């Protein structure tokens, strides 16, 4: 019985499938995860009684919250793959390369998967986004780093498939054999949005035939994380002094938080970087000069940096965003660490915040269609996957341009991994 694993290493969720003698199934690698059987792509380190303990997935989320945001919590690790500046990070005195960190994560997936199927697995099909980076050198390095991480985790034969192509294979598998369709696949994740136009229905062909069925691929680095940042910018950052202005000591000019501080405030994992003396000085100086009511907002910011609760704050923002996929309005609620945020957000407002980004997604769909020499009317079916595909404004792109009746979807969090499992059969 030969077994091949398929791993969809996502920015926020990762899923594992197995192909055993041509049959694919999903493996539950995180039984505690309330959303699906995928593993939250996070690592959490905590020093307890002199020993460093590491956690992954939902267990890590829970431990981080229980320990009141103490320790080192790492999310969106995939985002760093094309970042050449990230070489090593020190965790409680031990240095880790990015590959070693991701390997910790892969190792857990491998072990849990092997326990379920009761056999060792050394063959792996890994997913990758269409674009890690516009820069070809960085893109190549990102894939090499992912390969190295899989090797450190103990995989021997490693191959790659593009995430939206894997999703296309998953969709195709649900069709009656021989039913040929031109499918536009949209995979809207946390870090990126990826597209494929694919001729589905020729299930019988080998790998070369399958490759010919891929008519075009496209992708942009825009996903759910960016939408969370937009909510932070427009609705929450005010509570942290984003708009505070004060008179400079040296002239009548007004000054506020530096653009660097504001930029880092929009991404929770960059908030700890605001601990640099230079940025703390900027906040302190502004606090001294600010009006009385504004001083409190800057204290909130200092406290956010000090207590490092950005992750918990962004979780509330993300929760509100997800609720807006089903409801017309929702409330961003955050009452902890001496702050009380209660902001009503309507779907309409949210759509205004992300409109510009959605235009970029639309442009990417245009270029993917153009690369296949097709127009919207040539598309038989749109297959949507990835958590951000639940956002009504995103679905609307396809409803308007291609037609509501042509839209299909399946489990948004596991289609890619399932398709990677199917790809496993093409490897043999």
Ligand X SMILES: Nc1ncnc2c1ncn2[C@@H]1O[C@H](COP(=O)(O)OP(=O)(O)OP(=O)(O)O)[C@@H](O)[C@H]1O
Interacting residues toward ligand X by CB under 6 A: 10-13, 41, 78, 189-192, 223-225, 318, 321-322, 325, 386-388, 390-391, 412-413
* In the complex, least distance from residue 95 CB atom to ligand X, rounded to whole angstroms: 26
* In the complex, least distance from residue 361 CB atom to ligand X, rounded to whole angstroms: 13
Q: Which is nearer to Mg ion, 14 or 279 (CB)?
A: 14
Which of Mg ion, ligand X, none interacts with 267 (beta carbon under 5 to 8 A by kind)?
A: none
* In the complex, least distance from residue 132 CB atom to Mg ion, rounded to whole angstroms: 13
Q: Both tokens of residue 281?
A: 């000085």
Q: Which is nearer to ligand X, 341 or 412 (CB)?
A: 412
Which of Mg ion, ligand X, none interacts with 260 (beta carbon under 5 to 8 A by kind)?
A: none
Q: Which is nearer to ligand X, 145 or 287 (CB)?
A: 145
Which of the ranges 21-29, 169-177, 181-189, 286-294 carries the binding residues for Mg ion, by CB under 5 A?
A: 181-189
Which of ligand X, Mg ion, none interacts with 413 (beta carbon under 5 to 8 A by kind)?
A: ligand X
Q: Which residues have a Cβ under 8 Å from the Cβ of 362 and sit 6 or more positions away?
A: 397
Eight-class DSSP state of 232: I
Q: Which is nearer to ligand X, 169 or 305 (CB)?
A: 169
* In the complex, least distance from residue 12 CB atom to ligand X, rounded to whole angstroms: 4
Which of the ranges 189-197, 232-240, 288-296, 301-309 carries the binding residues for Mg ion, by CB under 5 A?
A: 189-197
- Taking each helix axis from N to C terminus, what angle separates 98-117 and 136-152, rounded to the nearest 10 degrees? 50
Q: Which is nearer to Mg ion, 10 or 60 (CB)?
A: 10
Tell me which of 6, 10, 201, 424 binds Mg ion, using CB under 5 A: 10
* In the complex, least distance from residue 368 CB atom to Mg ion, rounded to whole angstroms: 17
Which of ligand X, Mg ion, none interacts with 219 (beta carbon under 5 to 8 A by kind)?
A: none
* In the complex, least distance from residue 379 CB atom to ligand X, rounded to whole angstroms: 22
Q: Which residues have a Cβ under 8 Å from the Cβ of 4 and sit 6 or more positions away?
A: 18, 19, 121, 123, 124, 125, 421, 424, 427
* In the complex, least distance from residue 246 CB atom to ligand X, rounded to whole angstroms: 35
Number of residues that bind Mg ion (CB under 5 A): 2
Answer yes or no whether residue 223 interacts with Mg ion by CB under 5 A.
no
Answer yes or no whether residue 57 interacts with Mg ion by CB under 5 A.
no
Q: Do residues 199 and 171 lie in contact, with contact meaning Cβ atoms separated by under 8 Å?
A: no
* In the complex, least distance from residue 416 CB atom to Mg ion, rounded to whole angstroms: 5
Answer yes or no whether residue 189 interacts with Mg ion by CB under 5 A.
yes
Residue 96's φ and ψ, nearest 5 degrees, are -125, 135
Q: Which residues have a Cβ under 8 Å from the Cβ of 134 and sit 6 or more positions away?
A: none
d(CA 306, CA 283): 13
Q: Which residues have a Cβ under 8 Å from the Cβ of 161 and sit 6 or more positions away?
A: 125, 126, 127, 128, 419, 420, 423
Q: Which is nearer to Mg ion, 10 or 419 (CB)?
A: 10
* In the complex, least distance from residue 281 CB atom to ligand X, rounded to whole angstroms: 34
Burial environment of residue 359 by CB neighbours within 10 A (0 to 12, 13 to 18, 19 or more): exposed
Eight-class DSSP state of 320: H
d(CA 321, CA 330): 8
Answer yes or no whether residue 224 interacts with Mg ion by CB under 5 A.
no
Q: Which is nearer to ligand X, 223 or 241 (CB)?
A: 223
Neighbours of 112 (CB within 10 A): 18
How far is residue 401 CA from its own chain's centroid?
Answer: 26
Residue 365's φ and ψ, nearest 5 degrees, are -65, -40
Q: Which residues have a Cβ under 8 Å from the Cβ of 210 and sit 6 or more positions away?
A: 202, 426
Q: Which is nearer to Mg ion, 353 or 413 (CB)?
A: 413
d(CA 41, CA 77): 8
Eight-class DSSP state of 67: T
Contact residues for Mg ion (CB under 5 A)? 10, 189
């Amino acid at each position: 019985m030969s077994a091949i694993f398929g791993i969809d290493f996502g920015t926020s969720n990762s899923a594992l499938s197995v192909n055993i003698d041509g049959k694919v199934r999903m493996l539950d690698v995180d039984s505690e995860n309330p959303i699906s059987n995928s593993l939250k792509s996070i690592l959490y380190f905590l020093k307890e009684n002199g020993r460093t303990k590491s956690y992954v997935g939902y267990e890590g989320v829970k431990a981080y919250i229980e320990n009141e945001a103490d320790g080192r919590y790492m999310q969106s690790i995939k985002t760093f793959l094309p970042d050449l500046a990230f070489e090593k990070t020190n965790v409680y005195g031990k240095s880790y390369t990015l590959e070693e960190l991701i390997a910790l994560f892969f190792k857990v997936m491998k072990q849990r998967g092997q326990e379920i199927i009761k056999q060792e697995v050394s063959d792996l099909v890994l997913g990758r986004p269409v674009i890690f980076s516009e820069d070809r050198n960085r893109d190549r390095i990102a894939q090499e780093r992912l390969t190295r991480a899989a090797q450190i985790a103990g995989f021997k034969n490693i191959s790659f498939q593009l995430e939206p192509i894997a999703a296309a294979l998953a969709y195709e598998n649900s069709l009656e054999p021989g039913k040929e369709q031109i499918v536009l696949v949209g995979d809207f994740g946390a870090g990126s949005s990826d597209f494929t136009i694919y001729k589905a229905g020729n299930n019988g062909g080998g790998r070369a035939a399958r490759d010919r069925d891929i008519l075009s691929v496209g992708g942009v680095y825009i996903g759910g994380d960016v939408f969370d940042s937009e909510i932070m910018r427009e609705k929450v950052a005010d509570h942290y002094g984003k708009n505070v202005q004060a008179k400079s000591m040296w002239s009548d000019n007004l000054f506020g938080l530096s653009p660097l501080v504001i930029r880092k405030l929009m991404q929770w994992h960059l908030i700890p970087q605001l601990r640099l003396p230079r940025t703390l000085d900027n906040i302190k100086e502004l606090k001294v000069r600010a009006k009385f009511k504004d001083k409190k907002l800057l204290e909130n910011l200092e406290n956010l940096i000090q207590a490092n609760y950005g992750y918990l704050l962004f979780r509330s923002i993300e929760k509100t965003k997800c609720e807006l996929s089903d409801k017309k309005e929702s409330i961003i609620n955050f009452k902890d660490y001496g702050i009380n945020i209660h902001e009503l957000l309507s779907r309409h407002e949210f759509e205004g915040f992300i409109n510009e980004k959605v235009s970029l997604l639309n442009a990417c769909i245009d270029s993917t269609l153009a690369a296949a020499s097709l127009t919207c009317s040539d598309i038989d079916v749109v297959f949507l996957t990835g958590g951000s595909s639940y956002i009504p404004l995103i679905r609307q792109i396809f409803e308007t341009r291609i037609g509501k009746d042509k839209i299909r979807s399946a489990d948004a969090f596991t289609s890619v991994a399932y398709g990677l499992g199917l790809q496993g059969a093409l490897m043999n």
